[in-house]
Amino acid sequence: MNFKVWGVLLLMTAPMLALAQGSTPLPTPVIAIIDVDEVQLEALAVKAVRVQADKYRQEFQQQDTAEEAALRTQQQSIEQQRKNNALSPDALGEKARAFDASVADYQRRAAARRRAFEKSYNAAMAKVQQAMYEATGKVAQAHGANIILPRGQVVLFDDKMNLTKEIIALMDKALPAVDFPAPQLDDPAQQPAQAQPQPKKKN
């Protein structure tokens, strides 16, 4: 190695060594595991969100199905009138344009329902996620762990490192249920009935 280069490396390294000597030593890693998939299956708050989400999802699906059926009926009527030459070309074109407008309106309404549902779902799950973070922090502190890794990213570990059940138990105590915000649509006539609040679990 060229001596000039070696000297430059020493000059660059010296400040880093001085900084390391004057800084607080890093703690010894203590690793624990959380199975996020298990949390999403077993936590009471997640189950409450799922029940309420399914209710709104079914209501929106029923609306989609009814509107799609109406559009099919409208399309079949236009096709039958075309085959029977029941309308003039201008009148038939007018009906076709009206049908296209109906399809576009349906697509906008369906998209609005999806967006409203996703917004409410994300708001409810954000509360669950916050509860999971808080429970994880408390359980980790109780065990002296300073690194928490998700189960899906670890190939092999001692099961004693898995804190998932303790985290779920603490979540269930702190947040046994989550109110799913009623999806808010632009058209009040499309609003689904609001889900009944889930009863809170007694300690």
Question: What pairs with residue 33 in β-bridges?
Answer: 149, 162
Tokens of 44: 């009471």
Q: Does a structural domain hold residue 47?
A: yes
Confidence of residue 185 (pLDDT cuts 50, 70, 90): confident
Q: Please report, rounded to a whole number, the percentage of residues in the chain having pLDDT higher than 90.
A: 69
Q: Does the pLDDT at position 153 exceed 70?
A: yes
Confidence of residue 198 (pLDDT cuts 50, 70, 90): very low
- Cα distances from 182 to residues 19, 47, 134, in angstroms, run 55, 17, 26
Q: Does a structural domain hold residue 12?
A: no
Instruction: Give the mean model confidence (pLDDT) for residues 12-27.
Output: 62
pLDDT for position 86: 80
Q: pLDDT tens digit string along 91-140?
A: 888 999 999 999 999 999 999 999 999 999 999 999 999 999 999 999 99
User: Which residue range is the domain that position 75 belongs to?
Assistant: 28-190
Tokens of 31: 């690793």
Query: Model pTM?
Result: 0.74
Q: Does a structural domain hold residue 122?
A: yes
Confidence of residue 88 (pLDDT cuts 50, 70, 90): confident
Q: Does a structural domain hold residue 1?
A: no
Q: Does a structural domain hold residue 82?
A: yes
Tell me how many domains the chain contains.
1
Give buried/exposed letters for 132-159 (b at 16+ CB in 10 A, else e): beebbeebbeeeebeebeeeeeeeeeee
How far, in Å, CA of 117 to CA of 143, rounded? 39
Q: Does a structural domain hold residue 3?
A: no
